[in-house]
Amino acid sequence: MRILNASGCLDALAAPEVARQLDAFVTKTVTPLPREGSAPPRIAETAQGMLNAIGLANPGRERFVADHLPQLAELGVPLWVSVGGFCAEDYAETCARLADGIEAVELNLSCPNVDEAPESAAEIVAACRGATNLPIYAKLSPASWDIGEVARAVEAAGADGLSLVNTIRGLALDRRTLRPILGTATGGYSGPALRPIALAAVYACRRVSDLPIVGMGGVTTGRGALELVAAGASAVALGTVLFADPGAPARVRTELEAAIERLGLDSVDAVRGLAHGGGGVSGERVLAGPAPK
């Protein structure tokens, strides 16, 4: 089973030795124009996780393609590019600029720290499908009331996979002043407390779709990864844990193998989909490859 990073939780150029532990590296979200991001403070720790309000700070599409992407390619790790924007055209234009050397595109359709595009997730996926032949993964929000319905819609629009889930909006108050810690007041909540929410999202989407799913949200151990696989994930991404434990990818992989052995199973394939009452998930596709039409 492949282990990736959650977008924005690892700077591969600053920590290449961590990135090389991964089976694929997912970049920070790229937008058409450079963004400085939100006003500080941008990070707040909580008892069970972390709030961030980075605000999609990034160098912009032109500099990313010209400078950052060639450096990332030198790492020797398959690359996924996280793409963001404020309208469907923004997303599509960035997808069109990405070369065939990219393994997949992940559409950030669910950032809680910036204004969303007016188009639906399906409309954005459809625009990007017309702009690139690269595999497209739609990253969805755990705040969706019926995330399974959203999954069905983006699959019909041409998505090749799902990334589940992004952070969910939260608030932390200063213990002394009782005022918001973050400069933006609210931010995206991640960490261990997000894991049951991520599990529910993966479970719901697997029930209605056979698209490959990258499960993420609160994974800190091999057991956490195992449960996402049992819910239907094809791969797992690590997020907040990377801030505290740079060796997490290798550790989680080892713990996952030990957990599978303790269950008396032969491989991770025997775990996949067990939460749905069976072994494995029929119709599963290659993780990074385009879905058959």
Percent of the chain with pLDDT over 90: 89
**Confidence check: pLDDT of 286 > 70:** no
pLDDT value of residue 116 = 81
Q: Is 46 helix (H, G, I), strand (E, B) or coil?
A: strand
Angle at which helices 222-231 and 195-208 cross, to 10°: 30
* Neighbouring residues of 201: CB distance < 8 A, sequence distance ≥ 6: 140, 142, 147, 164, 165, 217
Encode pLDDT of 192-246 as tens digits: 999 999 999 999 999 999 999 999 999 999 999 999 999 999 999 999 999 999 9
Active site residue 111: yes
CA angle 204, 276, 126 (to 5 degrees): 35
* Neighbouring residues of 229: CB distance < 8 A, sequence distance ≥ 6: 1, 215, 236, 268, 271, 272
DSSP 182: B
Cβ atoms of 237 and 26 closer than 8 Å: yes
Q: Is 70 helix (H, G, I), strand (E, B) or coil?
A: helix
Q: Annotated catalytic residue: which of 9, 95, 111, 205?
A: 111
Beta strands in 40-94 (DSSP E): 43-46, 49-52, 79-83
Encode pLDDT of 45-86 as tens digits: 999 899 999 999 999 999 999 999 999 999 999 999 999 999
